[in-house]
Amino acid sequence: MMKNRACRTSQFLPTKKHEKRSKLKKKENLGKKQRDKGEFSSGNRNGGVSYEDRISDLPDGILLSILSCLLLKEAATTSVLSRRWRDLWASVMSLNFEDEKNSRDFKEVKPNIQHRQRRSFVSMVDAAVKQHTGLTIERFRACFFLDRRFAQSIDEWIEFAVKKRVQILELEFSTANYKDNYTFPHELLGLAKGSTQKDLHSGISSLHSSGCCLGFKSLKVLTLRHVNVAGEALENLLMNCPVERLSVVAAKNLVDLRVVSPPITWKYLAIEKCLDLKTIEICNADIVSFTYIGVGIDLVLSNVPLLTEVSITELEIRSNDFYNSIAISVELPFTQLSCYLSQLKCLTMDISEVVYNQDYVFPMLANLKCLELICEPHYASALRYLTSFMKASPYLQRLVLKMNIYTSWLEEMGIGKTEMEEIVTTKQLESVAKCPHDELKVIEIVGYRARRFAAKHVMLLLKNAVALKKLVIDPVRHRSRGLSMVKEIIDEEMKARNHAVKHLKKYVPSTVNFVCL
């Protein structure tokens, strides 16, 4: 037996000139055995240093926690480290699928290459789902440019996640047209497509007997982007499942969302860019945070005593005729939230498209501690609104000002916004009423640029924040975060940093911590 084995080996090492290579091979094999055991050493017996792979000696639970922090594709590559790691990735509790490399330039490549990348992504997820051996998972996230053509595979992913008692389910897709959105499988919720809310409560006894929506017994967080889902499906989830956070972005067929007396676990709701949405009604709920981005809707809130965080961005309804477009203001959201403004602690508003109404009297935000405003600082209306918010928030502690600075086609034509909102001048800055703040400790400027009017905004805030402790200048544009950076943007940010250090820092009191990111 040994003789035969030697003969087979000699086929790969036929001559004496390979003896040296054979010795190296033996060392490599020895090193491999040591790696498999989790042992590494170097140096001589007397004075050498011994290295041990202590990470591989950790319990499976800790190693799986480490792998769960990676994209699944990255976690799978650890299988080549040693036998100890070979099958660990197949039991991870967090399945995070995202093709970051192809996502950066996806829209720039040809359609046939796009389709190939989509198929590659779907195949990767399909394979990982089939090989997964864990009994449960905490998180399932799929993020890529997928549409309804891949519905069968996506349905299977969701069914897999449900069977594994998933806690966090995130389907973040992107399509060129709302009509191509993938549709959430209502059947998994016990709903037939086209069913009504009346049908839901009268005809599905299994849901009420179990107290949950079939397999969604463990679901706590649901995020859907470019996934069509009807209001009744979301209502069913909220009414029957322990969902704490719900986020829906760009769902075409979401028209009405009405939730009355949901479970106490539901705390956070975010609805963004659902263009068909008409109504949101929330009653008798312990909701803490509400985020809405979209056109004006009927927003009805009743008996929500724990609501303390609100983010509102009302989008303008545009038409081909600029002057007939429906403008927006802060009045509508303030009116809809009027009963709860006094209890708000955090407020975020996008005022970049808001038309200033000098006759409007701001309501008092007596308990507001954190204010985040998105604005276009080169318009005088932004300055006036900033002043109004400051006056209405006497106990403000943290202010975040996100600047949208650009040159619009109207400005290039010599026409200003709504016939003409002035560019901020020094005279206008000086005419703004002073509103000293004794509680404001932190100011953060996001999207700062090397422009005089941007610096003037900061100077105005410094004058009014008499107890300021920290000023943060962040030149990264808030809408550019996470996107691939082009050279022009990088150069502009570098210029902004230099401008802030050179022209702003010298005006900041020594008692204030100046930070330029």
Distance between CA atoms of residues 200 and 197, nearest Å: 5
What pLDDT score does 209 carry? 38
Residue 236: both structure tokens together: 């069913």
User: Alpha helices, DSSP H only, in 352-451?
Assistant: 380-392, 409-412, 426-431
| 178, 193 Cβ separation under 8 angstroms | no
What pLDDT score does 462 carry? 85
Distance between CA atoms of residues 281 and 45, nearest Å: 75
Give CA 186 to chain center in angstroms: 25
Distance between CA atoms of residues 13 and 29, nearest Å: 16
DSSP character for 371? E
Helix (H) or strand (E) holding 298: strand 298-302
Distance between CA atoms of residues 310 and 288, nearest Å: 9
What pLDDT score does 53 carry? 58
Beta bridge partners of 248: 224, 271
Whole-structure pTM value: 0.74
Helix (H) or strand (E) holding 435: none
Strands 39-41 and 50-52: antiparallel
Q: What is the DSSP string of 439-461?
A: S--EEEEES--S-HHHHHHHHHH
Distance between CA atoms of residues 64 and 44, nearest Å: 35
* pLDDT beneath 50, residues of the chain: 1-20, 35-46, 80, 196-212, 319-326, 407-422, 480-484
The pLDDT tens digits for 65-111 are: 666 666 666 666 665 455 556 566 666 778 888 877 777 778 888 88
Task: Go through 113-144 and write b for each residue having 16 or more CB atoms within 10 A of its CB, e for each that does not.
Answer: eeeebbeebbebbeebbeebeeeebbbbbbbb
Beta bridge partners of 272: 249, 293
Distance between CA atoms of residues 89 and 247, nearest Å: 29
Which residue shows structure tokens 């999207």?
A: 447
Distance between CA atoms of residues 294 and 313, nearest Å: 6
